[in-house]
Structure 1
Amino acid sequence: MKNPIKLAVFDMAGTTIKDQSNVAQAFLKAFFNHGYKKVSLEEANEKMGYPKPLAIREMLQNHISPGEQVTEALINKIHDSFVAEMIQFYKHSPDIAPMADALEVFESLQQMGIKVGLDTGFSRDIADTILSRIGWKGHPLIDITVCSDEVKKGRPHPDMILKMMAALGIGNPLEVIKIGDTEVDIHEGLNSGCLMSIAVTTGAYTEEQLRPHGPTHVVHALSEILPLVEREMATQQD
């Protein structure tokens, strides 16, 4: 008999939390505030899901002047601006809301004996602001959350998923599935050896943009993962 699925790891913004390019817009504003006016929304969208300091470093490489260096101090200044923008947005914007089917999916998974985790490219201060705002901090349907600043390497590396597995006593990545809306979510799941690395088209990317990154499945709503899980769980009992 196969190992049962024990953990489902979901991304936050764009996957379980609605995101209308809000993160990318805050990214642009942080760069603009420090004189980098040519950073585009397309560039920012391409870095969604990455740990934000890494994304800032890579984007700066395309915009620094000749002779200028990308320093940790500069990265930290832009990241601090981004964090401030995001915290203000998530504290006050009327647009903050979970995906309509998120809690229903979490509850269905828990009824199947599957724990629910959230991971994110955000730092803990932003993540906790979001979770508090929508009433998910300490929510009984969420078993664990891990942020990119709590591990050595964020996505697409497997560190956040491995941290969850260790905390929950799960020894085999084939007992884990990953769900997210960006290429780095997909690669995080694949690099972790997860049973499924499911792409969802509720965020910044279309199915056509996500398919080339090799997800095991592509869905268009979180509720569409339930039949996939139910089918897998049924085959494990055969």
Structure 2
Amino acid sequence: MTFQLAVFDMAGTTVHDPDLVVQALREALAEAGCEAGVPELRALMGYTKPAAIRSLLAAHDLPADDAHVMHVHADFVQRMLHCYRTHEAVRPMAGAEDTFAWLHERGIKVALNTAFSQDIAECLIERFDWRRRGLIDAATSADRVVEGRPAPDMIRALMAEGGVTDAARVFKVGDTEVDIREGRAAGCGLVVAVATGAYTRAELLAHHPDAVLDGLHELAALLDRASQSHVA
């Protein structure tokens, strides 16, 4: 199978984030009187943040109306923007930039998608200078489509932008169960999980991706094997 488009998640997949998302979400919820535990928060990584916030507020018997959810989300966004602009631990995930370049050398377009809002995504892209350096071709976020993960809307939007019509020629890479579900919903030819973020290898395997990698440096060999065996 010849792939035309790669769709990568951001935090935990292509962006090294030492639990900053969990920390920012926990702090924003605490300001609203919701003392959510880390396991609760980790279980919702990869989902749109307003949806995660609504779920957690409701689980703690707190108001989960649109106004309250948006208030907590706005607090979360400001915390994330500060972290992602200034925290020294925020950097491209090991192997990410080399992988982007390797894919481009083979004529495969590189796109990013994220459960963050677009302002957070753009903050990271600008910090790493990925657009100017030609390392990515497109990026989208959950707030730019009708439905976020696990719906296929973001992948389909990126396909349309890249002129890709066959989802079998797209592969999706992410670090959460909802990334896997998104790739399946979109009909991607290959759905790959990486154990570098919110979920362990065992947790990812339970959701049946086509492969689980320990890092992005293993992706090239996986794609070569898929090409040689004609299995997408």
TM-score (norm. length: structure 1): 0.93
1:182 equivalent in structure 2: 176
| Identity percentage of aligned residues | 41
Match of residue 225, structure 1, among 211, 219, 224: 219
Match of residue 162, structure 2, among 147, 164, 168: 168
1:12 equivalent in structure 2: 10
**What whole-Å deviation, never above 9, does each CA across 1:114-155 have from its counterpart, x for those lacking one?**
110100000011111111122224430201101110000011
1:196 equivalent in structure 2: 190
Structure 1: tracts of 5 or more residues without a match: none
2:144 equivalent in structure 1: 150
Instruction: Quote how far apart the aligned CAs of 1:235 are.
Output: 4.1
1:52 equivalent in structure 2: 49
* Alignment partners' CA distance in 1, 2:17 and 2:195: 12
Instruction: Quote how far apart the aligned CAs of 1:189 are.
Output: 0.6
> Is 2:89 the partner of 1:91?
no
What RMSD over aligned residues (CA atoms) do the two structures have, in Å?
Answer: 1.4
Say which SS state the counterpart of residue 91 (structure 2) adopts.
coil
Given that 2:131 and 2:137 are in contact with CA atoms closer than 8 Å, whether structure 1 keeps it comes out as no
2:96 equivalent in structure 1: 102
Instruction: Quote how far apart the aligned CAs of 1:232 are.
Output: 2.4
For the structure 1 residues 146 and 139, does the alpha-carbon distance in structure 2 shift closer, same or farther, using more than 3 Å as the test? farther
Match of residue 28, structure 2, among 10, 30, 51: 30
Match of residue 81, structure 1, among 62, 75, 94: 75
Q: Which amino acid aligns with 1:105?
A: T
Given that 1:179 and 1:197 are in contact with CA atoms closer than 8 Å, whether structure 2 keeps it comes out as yes
Instruction: Quote how far apart the aligned CAs of 1:169 are.
Output: 1.1
**When the two structures are aligned, how many residues end up with a matched partner?**
231
Farther-moved stretch of structure 1 (197-206 vs 128-137): 128-137
* Alignment partners' CA distance in 2, 1:111 and 1:136: 16
